[in-house]
Amino acid sequence: SWEVVQKEKHKDMLHLLQFPYNGEPPKRLVTAAEITPNPLHFVRNHGGIPHIAKDKYSLQLDGLVKFPHTFTLDDLMDEARFPRMEKMVTLQCAIGTANYVGISLKKVIKACGGLVDDGKHLEFYGADTYFKKNNVMNYLVSVPWSKVKANEVMLAWEMNGEPLPKIHGYPLRVIVMGYIGARSVKWLYRIKAIDTPSLAPVQSQEYLYFNQQVGKHNQLMTSGIQIQEMPVSSAIMSPWTKQIVIHNGAIHCKGWAYSGGGRWPERVELSADGGFSWYAVAQDALSHKKKFAWRTWEIDLPCDVEGWIEIVCRCWDNSLNTQPLNVRAAWNWGLHVTSSAHRISIYSVN
């Protein structure tokens, strides 16, 4: 997989782990544009990068559907059968935004006669294998039918006008809008309709939101909430923490804001005094609102202070949800969804 990384990813990517490959762009490049170029989109893998030939590829749909069926890529790309869908979507683990082209999974389920009996969840099988406690298994998670029914689950083959890069799931992946990135299965080869959320370890043992009594010596692995919709979050991408910033009474700041579940950032606020007074980012300094994508923003943040200051950023979404002000208040075992207000310390020279 290292050759794939070198071929497909930007030379400035931060390689966090060589195997399974995990990488992300440096802060200064995260919000360089509203759309993240493919070579800079972050990568999260649990195993290797499968090589799948387009002409040998097929997608199996089975389980609690009326007519189980196997589709070729040509079947799925046939516009007479499945209308094309294009959507700008932010994926969050690290964060990145791309335009995806594909079809709505709902239409594919309908082409199989719909769900039967107790069919209530769709399980997605990735062709990669990962290892857990001496077991070798496929990457496997599920989403509820209600999410699919809302046309918020897409089968995508194109990313920013190009075929999906190998590292992002070629030839076909799932894009679950507004959910944690972990549900957007890459290298998809099978969809199974089932009656409960997937019992596979990635769904039932990972990405759980635990209460604060769960810790290193008390891992009640089944007591967590399965994370699906993401909460509201935002972060400052420039300046960087510990940086010396020379300015004339206003510090230029840039960053992103995002909310899951189809909610969107309505207001972004910054503080130059640790979170006591707040300035709202002007509406025209925020990128356009979209249902499933982030908004990038910039602001000249007034500041007369010389010396160390703490800059804080928080977002309010269209349901008026906001972020906890302190990271410790959001602590949980696994450090998932720690979407507290982002704080950086800079040295202000005025």
> Which spans of this chain sit near ligand MTE (rule: CB under 6 A)?
41-46, 91, 93, 96, 126, 128, 139, 168, 181-182, 184-187
Sign of CA dihedral 28, 30, 34, 36: positive
Chain-centre distance of CA 194, in angstroms? 24
Site string for Mo ion, 5-44 (x = CB under 5 A): ---------------------------------------x
* Cβ partners under 8 Å of residue 226, min gap 6: 197, 203, 204, 207, 208, 209
**How many CB atoms sit inside 10 A of residue 90's CB?**
22
From Mo ion, ligand MTE, none, which one binds at residue 254 (CB under 5 to 8 Å depending on kind)?
none
Nearer to ligand MTE, 49 or 301 (CB): 49
Beta-ladder partners of 311: 344
We find the least distance from the C-beta atom of residue 181 to Mo ion, in angstroms, to be 4
Nearer to ligand MTE, 18 or 243 (CB): 18
Which residue, judged by CB position, is nearest to Mo ion in the bound state?
A: 93
Q: Give one DSSP letter per residue of 26-61, joined into a string.
A: -HHHHTSSSSPPGGGS-EE-SS------GGG-EEEE
42 or 71, CB closer to ligand MTE? 42
Q: Considering the complex, state which of residue 94 and residue 327 has its C-beta at the smaller distance from Mo ion.
A: 94
CB of 303 to ligand MTE, least distance (A): 35
- Which position's Cβ is nearest ligand MTE? 126
Q: What is the separation of C-alpha 216 from the centre of its chain, rounded to a whole number of angstroms?
A: 27
Applying the rule CB under 5 A, the residues between 177 and 196 that interact with Mo ion are 181-182
* Angle formed at CA 105 by CA 165 and CA 56, multiple of 5 degrees: 50
* Residue 44 CB, nearest approach to ligand MTE (Å): 4
Q: Does 169 bind Mo ion (CB under 5 A)?
A: no
- Work out how close the CB of 262 gets to ligand MTE at its nearest, in angstroms, rounded to a whole number: 18
What string marks each residue from 38 to 77 as x (binds Mo ion by CB under 5 A) or -?
------x---------------------------------
Least distance between Mo ion and beta carbon 182 (Å): 4
* Cβ–Cβ < 8 Å for 175, 100: yes
Q: Which residue's CB is nearer to ligand MTE, number 184 or number 204?
A: 184
Q: Tell me which stretch binds Mo ion (CB under 5 A): 86-94, 158-166, 223-231, 303-311.
A: 86-94
* DSSP H/E element including 214: none
Question: In the chain, which residue ranges form alpha helices assigned H by DSSP?
Answer: 2-8, 27-30, 73-77, 105-111, 145-149, 201-204
Q: Which is nearer to Mo ion, 184 or 234 (CB)?
A: 184
**Which residues 6+ apart lie within 8 Å of 240 measured at CB?**
27, 28, 344, 346
The residues in 91-110 that bind Mo ion, with binding defined as CB under 5 A, are 93
Nearer to ligand MTE, 41 or 121 (CB): 41
Quickly count: other Cβ atoms within 10 Å of residue 4's Cβ: 17
* First vs last C-alpha separation in the chain: 48
Dist CA 334 CA 160 (whole Å): 32
Q: Could you tell which of ligand MTE, Mo ion, none binds residue 128, using a CB distance below 5 to 8 A set by kind?
A: ligand MTE
What is the number of other CB atoms lying within 10 angstroms of the CB of residue 129?
14
**Residue 41 interface partner, choices Mo ion, ligand MTE, none, CB cut-off 5-8 Å depending on type:** ligand MTE
Q: Which is nearer to ligand MTE, 98 or 214 (CB)?
A: 98
Residues engaged in binding Mo ion (CB under 5 A): 44, 93, 181-182
